[in-house]
Amino acid sequence: MIDFNSVTTAIDRFLNSVLPHQAATLVECLIIAVCAIVAYLTFAIVMIYMERKVCAAFQCRVGPDRVGKWGLLQVFSDVFKMLTKEIIELCSSDKILYTLAPFLVIMSSIITFSCLPFDNGLQVLDFNIGIFFIMAASSFGILGILLGGWSSNNKFSMIGAMRSGGQMISYELSMGLSVLTLVVLSGTMQISDLVEEQTKGWFIFRGHIPAFIAFIIYIISGNAETNRAPFDLPEAESELTAGFHTEYSGMGFGLFYVAEFMNMFIIAGIATTIFLGGWAPFTIPGADAFNSAMFMIPGFVWFLGKTFFVIWLLMWIRWTFPRLRIDQVLVLEWKYMVPIGLLNLLIMTICVVMGWTF
Amino acid sequence: MEMKKPAIKSIPYEEFKDNETLESLLAEVNKERTNVLIGNLDDLINWGRSNSLWSLTFATSCCGIEFMAVGAARYDFARFGFEVTRNSPRQADLIMCAGTITHKMAPVLKRLYDQMAEPKYVVAVGGCAISGGPFKGSYHVLNGIDKIIPVDVYVPGCPPRPEAMLYGMMQLQRKVKAEKFLGGKNIHRKRSDAPKDPIIVTNVPAGDENKNEK
Amino acid sequence: MEVNFIDIKDFRETMLAHRRKGMDFLRELIGMDWQDDGLGAIYMLENSSTHENIEVAVRTLDRERPQLPSVSDIWMVAELYEREVYDFYGIEFTGHHDLRRLYLRNDWVGFPLRKDYDASEELNPVRMESEPVEEFQREYDIQDDREMAEIVEKLKILHYDQYVVNIGPQHPATHGVLHFHLSLEGEEVRKVDIRCGYIHRGIEKLCESRTYPQILPFTDRLDYLSAHQNRHALCMCIENAMEIGVSDRVQYIRTIMDELQRIDSHLLMYSCMAMDMGAITGFIYGFREREKILDIMEEVTGGRLIQNYYVIGGVQADITPGFAKKVKEYCNDQKIRIKEYYDLFVNNVIFRNRSIGVGVLSREDAISFGATGGTGRASGWACDVRKRHPYAMYGKVDFKEIVHTGGDCYTRLIVRLEEILESIGIIEQLIDNIPEGDYKTKTKPIIKLPEGRFSASVEGSRGEFGVFIESRGDKMPYRLKFRPTGLPLLAAAHKIMKGCKIADLITIGASLDYVIPDIDR
Amino acid sequence: MKLRETYIGKILLTIKSLATGLRVTLREFFTRKITEHYPENRKTLHIAERHRAMLCMPHDEEGNNKCIACGLCSMACPNGTISIVTKSVTDEETGKSKKVLVEYNYDLGACMFCQLCVNACPKGAIEFSNSFENAVFDRSKLIIKLNK
């Protein structure tokens, strides 16, 4: 198993020898920031391309294939066009909040993005309350959407913002419950320990039934958290033209568009971390020969493979179901997801206390 | 640096129609001398803009159904990168005016055009948008949308086939590639035509309380 | 068709008498300008159970302030019909509680369909500023002593401090350019004010200055999803008026083509309903089958959406040899594919929750609004013209008329999907035994209809489409009126959409399946 | 109480109906795509020969056409898209003056492809072709001179 800790400590030692301590940490922070943002944008581009190709595959058509070899350069041309579009300043909107909104959404998704365990040492933030921090960081993204909707002084975006507020805040609850169930199983909240624990066996297998139910609840509430169909009420095309980002043009809209895709990547990343064992390879307790073969494959390949499988699952759900109405969204949350989540938490604690987990 | 003839995949340059107007556009663009760096950057931006033209879902009558058929599985304009049809004029690059524009619809179309972000384009699809088509003599029909907004490409037909619409979009791609973006297309035109005070659709009476309303 | 005139004095009593005798379906209200005989209106009434119909007319000689008693309290659809006649002829209907122009702008000068209307550009230039939406409803009611009714501005349409939203002319889910002017309370819709006219092209005025063969292309562009049926209605009306015999082969071809167009329109209705409710994949699957029909149509008629296929006395060109094989191949494939729609969208629990019990239209309302077609049949009213007044081959083909009693959005979609299977059944009965014969009977180059009034009606894809021609014997009609299949649906929508949520408003609009150019003409 | 009303029943029915929907899209994910690649398949593209995309006047080898400049087509057209310029020529043998076609202008932008002109032409000089690639940048390019 390649351990990136050695690589990072080597860089740290080299920098400290050359520069004074403060300068070394500053340079390290700069390197990490640049790597995080570059990784963030490349994943965004890969995600947009994957979304358009997978959506086309589900709809028996071909998707972008004229720009570049199989349409690979399509998203780059989208990025160039988005950068060169004029940003319209609205005469009667709340200027400060209007420009602040996209950055709030982007900031919340970059912070949560950097908590994901790509490989053994490749993790930017690793607090001992890791999962709890992710929950907190991902929830102030809602602020951005609410501000964006309210400040653009457009009645449709106002309705879209109110809908998104109601929906995302209530689905934080069931997402928190399903994560709590897994924390009960694993016993720790630190992400690296969580994944370390799963090298012996993924939690979704070790936690058998309650873990699987938690996984289903997590996928549904993750879908609602990122405003994707069948919960895409805030930017429901056919009802509110373009929902909360109706008045945004150029890069303002570009930030919302990228943040939506990256939130989906983060939800899939967290699902892989706590359910499917992050960068931990697939191991069967008995067969050591098989396990050692599995350990040959590097960690981040495991992590990205599983994440993109979960993303494919989310896209499958998006391109099949019609949209829910706002009262059905809330009824589903408060009457079905929260009770089942609480019951599941109870079952999991009983299993852990009695030791029935693998 | 010379701006070369815009090329479209798998259709040779000669087989396109109306190359003369394109050549005159190119000649006008190549008048000033641009250095190599800006020229290449211009080409890159134009390549990006021409391959990702997002159209506004604007369909008033029969051509709208063919516009949906172009978006559906068989002709699929997602292959060209136009897949994302935006509903809000702020995020759309072009208006594909598919259908008849009547006197009552003309101010709405003009307002939508004003709300779009620069650089914006207009494709007139079908006989009604080009010249009023079958309803040319009617009292309520506008004889061609080029009377109120500048039109870039005309796609004749009533309604034009989906392939003809794709051909029209490729013509627009060639026109986008033959433009000078830096110092040309992106200079903010002084919004002279933009209305000073915003058009109020519901004129709001100053606070008169009409009590008999429930 | 003969029309009996009633004196203006006892007009309302005779109308109430007709209504009590069971004439509960107002098929059409035709405004007329007989120049020196004054302005008037023709009412086509029908008894929804015995299918017996009467034509009644009333006229007034005064041309400055023509006034007729309103019947909008007897038949609810008359509310919109009378606004249309006011818009085109300037006839004020006393007792109508909301008489505004339906299609044209309020600052439009003159009444277009009057014979003495001058259509000069200076009088009505293209005005570039949107007009402010009018605030008050205008009601004409006769105070007891005075002869003439006065304009009384009463109820305010939309109050200023309500949350007023425009689901406006350009909107992805209005199936065209329809303008919903809503006042909202949170997600609930308090008050709906539907404004149309954004695609009004003045087709009926154009028809008065065109010869009969030149009028035919307009019918394709009215309701472009029942192009064949509309054209069939006009050709049938002209052929009946001039007693031109049409060969059996043409009757077979016309019936098959009508049914293919009906399947095409129902597929589009399913696809647009799926898209409006967020299932874009359902939309793409519906269009995949629809493309197969468009291929068959293009091979034979030369056009995908607008076909220009029927002419007076037959069809433009004979069917191509491979036609029967392709149609049979398509019908078998469609029977399998339709199961896929049920699995993907119709039996989906999200769709069922969002559409069952939403926008319920009762049977009496359906009849009073004259909402024919799939919408009427979903509310329990057997209003299929192919059964009421059989034409072409429909008398000799056995098919079931699908009538459900649910009346909500879910039933309206189910009725359309089952009608697709019914239409396939009809096509399969006809496709194998198309008789030999000439595809067009010779007609004189200049077609002149004899004096008199003629009408014909046909089952369009979304309702009964009627044609009424009043001819003075020359090659152009004196007055030509198309019965809009969509306008009654809009009147019904006006009533159903009160009190629903925004998402329901879009679902109801999609389930009613109206086509705006057919409403505005 | 029927299964449909109970709490558990609703959840099970929901899962069953969602699963059937997912199965349909999954099966579609792996089926062959039906998209026609328009610009790539231009050589083999099949357009119905009855499709009306543009009016044209067929010429035989020496370049003369069958039009006798009678003007029936422009009268039959509801939109006035056809305008004919003729000049009268005195025929040698009979000495009578005969109208000869100089210019046959056809406005493709206003045509509604209703085929009334082709039906009205006594000599069959004009017909509709199915070459649909006519999009242009300039409105005046849509007014085409049909006769060579």
Residue A250 in domain: yes
Q: What does the DSSP 8-state code read for residue C438?
A: -
pLDDT in tens, B170-186: 999 999 988 887 766 66
Contacts of B105 in chain C (CB under 8 A): 169, 177, 198-199
CATH number of B32-185: 3.40.50.12280
- Whether residue A60 and residue D24 make contact (CB cut-off 8 A), yes or no, is no
Confidence of residue C300 (pLDDT cuts 50, 70, 90): very high
pLDDT recorded at residue B206: 45
Of B4 and B65, the one with more pLDDT:
B65
3-state secondary structure (DSSP) of residue A320: coil
CB–CB contacts below 8 A, A to C: 76
Residue C259 in domain: yes
Contacts of D33 in chain A (CB under 8 A): 56-57, 60-62
- Whether residue A250 and residue B188 make contact (CB cut-off 8 A), yes or no, is no
Cis before B198? omega within 30: no
Q: Provide the domain count of chain C.
A: 2
Residue C167 in domain: no
CA distance C299 to chain B (A): 14
3-class secondary structure per residue, A191-249: HHHHHHHHCCCCHHHHCHHHHHHHHHHHHHHHHHHCCCCCCCCCCCCCCCCCHHHCCCC
- φ, ψ for residue D137 (rounded to 5)? -90, -30
Residue A235 in domain: yes
Average pLDDT score, chain B:
82
pLDDT recorded at residue B183: 67
B135 touches chain D (CB under 8 A): no
CA distance B36 to chain A (A): 19
Residue C172 in domain: no
Residue A33 in domain: no
pLDDT recorded at residue C159: 67
- Whether residue B171 and residue D135 make contact (CB cut-off 8 A), yes or no, is yes
Distance CA B3, CA B16 (A): 18
CA distances from C3 to B113, C24, C45, C58 (A): 50, 18, 11, 10
Contacts of B72 in chain C (CB under 8 A): 283-284, 287-288, 291
Environment class of residue A329 by beta-carbon count within 10 Å: exposed (0-12), middle (13-18) or buried (19+)?
A: buried
Question: In this structure, are strands B121-125 and B94-98 parallel, antiparallel, or unpaired?
Answer: parallel
pLDDT recorded at residue C155: 62
Percent of chain C with pLDDT strictly greater than 90: 53
CATH number reported for the structural domain that contains residue C280 in this entry: 1.10.645.10
Candidates C276, C344, C351; nearest CB to A238: C276
Judged against a pLDDT cut of 80, whether residue B84 lies above it is answered with no
Residue C491 in domain: yes
B113 touches chain D (CB under 8 A): no
Contacts of B142 in chain C (CB under 8 A): 126
C397 touches chain D (CB under 8 A): no
Gyration radius (Cα) of chain D, Å: 29
Candidates B51, B73, B118; nearest CB to A67: B51
- Of the residues A163, A232, A238, A246, the best mutation for testing chain C's interface (the one with the most C CB atoms within 10 Å of its CB) is A238
Distance CA A168, CA A269 (A): 19
pLDDT in tens, B3-14: 778 888 888 888
Contacts of B110 in chain C (CB under 8 A): 128
Identify whether residues C403 and C294 lie together within a single domain. Answer: yes
Candidates B133, B151, B166; nearest CB to D112: B133
Contacts of D109 in chain B (CB under 8 A): 127, 130-131, 144, 154, 156
Residue C467 in domain: yes
CA distances from C313 to C135, C207, C248, C444, C475 (A): 51, 20, 12, 10, 16
Contacts of B74 in chain D (CB under 8 A): 34-36
Structure tokens at C249: 């082969």
CB–CB contacts below 8 A, A to D: 31
CB–CB contacts below 8 A, B to C: 149
The domain in which residue C377 lies consists of 203-520
pLDDT recorded at residue C521: 84
pLDDT recorded at residue B205: 45
CA distance C281 to chain A (A): 6
C348 touches chain A (CB under 8 A): yes
- Whether residue B48 and residue A59 make contact (CB cut-off 8 A), yes or no, is no
CA distance B10 to chain A (A): 10
- Please name the residue that has the structure tokens 């499958």: A316
What is the mean pLDDT of the segment spanning A324-344?
92
pLDDT recorded at residue B195: 47
Average pLDDT score, chain C:
89
Residue C430 in domain: yes
Distance CA A7, CA A35 (A): 15
pLDDT in tens, A285-329: 777 888 888 888 888 899 999 999 999 999 999 999 999 998 899
D112 touches chain B (CB under 8 A): yes
Contacts of C123 in chain B (CB under 8 A): none
pLDDT recorded at residue B192: 47
C288 touches chain A (CB under 8 A): yes
- Of the residues A61, A251, A256, the best mutation for testing chain B's interface (the one with the most B CB atoms within 10 Å of its CB) is A61
Q: Which residues contact A89 (CB under 8 A, 6 or more apart)?
A: A95
The domain in which residue A128 lies consists of 81-354
Judged against a pLDDT cut of 80, whether residue B20 lies above it is answered with yes
Judged against a pLDDT cut of 90, whether residue C489 lies above it is answered with yes
CA distance B186 to chain A (A): 8
What is the mean pLDDT of the segment spanning C314-321?
90
pLDDT recorded at residue B208: 43
What DSSP string describes B118-172? SS-EEEEEHHHHHH-GGGTT-TTB-S-GGGTS--SEEE-SSSPPHHHHHHHHHHH
Candidates C132, C166, C177; nearest CB to B203: C132
Q: Using the Cα atoms of residue A211, residue A213, residue A215 and residue A218 in order, give the sign of their dihedral.
A: negative
Q: Provide the domain count of chain A.
A: 1
Residue C170 in domain: no
Instruction: Using alpha carbons only, give the angle C381, C384, C390 rounded to the nearest 5 degrees.
Output: 140
pLDDT in tens, C4-22: 888 888 888 999 999 998 8
What DSSP string describes A100-124? HHHHHHHHHHHHHHTTS--SSS--S
- Whether residue A60 and residue C288 make contact (CB cut-off 8 A), yes or no, is yes
Identify whether residues C150 and C256 lie together within a single domain. Answer: no
Q: Which residues contact D16 (CB under 8 A, 6 or more apart)?
A: none
What is the mean pLDDT of the segment spanning B209-214?
40
pLDDT recorded at residue A1: 62
- Whether residue C317 and residue D28 make contact (CB cut-off 8 A), yes or no, is no
- Of the residues B80, B88, B188, the best mutation for testing chain A's interface (the one with the most A CB atoms within 10 Å of its CB) is B88
Residue A297 in domain: yes
Is C25 within 8 Å of C74 (Cβ atoms)?
no
Identify whether residues C338 and C470 lie together within a single domain. Answer: yes
Choose the weakest-confidence range: B177-181, C158-162, D62-66: C158-162
CA distance B94 to chain D (A): 15
Is B124 within 8 Å of B97 (Cβ atoms)?
yes
- Whether residue D33 and residue B73 make contact (CB cut-off 8 A), yes or no, is yes
Residue A14 in domain: no
CA distance B135 to chain D (A): 8
Residue C177 in domain: no
Please give the sequence-ordered ranges of beta strands (E in DSSP) within chain B, or none if there are none: 55-56, 94-98, 121-125, 153-155
Query: What is this structure's pTM?
Result: 0.92
pLDDT in tens, C109-143: 889 999 888 878 778 888 887 777 666 666 666 65
pLDDT recorded at residue B201: 45
Residue A59 in domain: no
CATH number reported for the structural domain that contains residue C81 in this entry: 3.30.460.80
Judged against a pLDDT cut of 70, whether residue C45 lies above it is answered with yes
pLDDT recorded at residue B210: 41
Distance CA C192, CA C505 (A): 10
- Best CA proximity match to D115, nearest among D87, D85, D139, D82: D82
Residue of C nearest to B109 (CA): C170
pLDDT in tens, D16-47: 999 999 999 999 899 888 888 888 888 888 88
Residue A294 in domain: yes
Contacts of C288 in chain A (CB under 8 A): 60
3-state secondary structure (DSSP) of residue C217: helix
* CA C435 to chain CA centroid, nearest Å: 33
Residues 299-318 of C with CB under 8 A from D: 299-303, 306, 308, 311, 316-317
- Whether residue D78 and residue B144 make contact (CB cut-off 8 A), yes or no, is no
Chain A residues with at least one Cβ partner in D under 8 Å: 56-62, 66, 316-317, 319-321, 336
Identify whether residues C150 and C234 lie together within a single domain. Answer: no
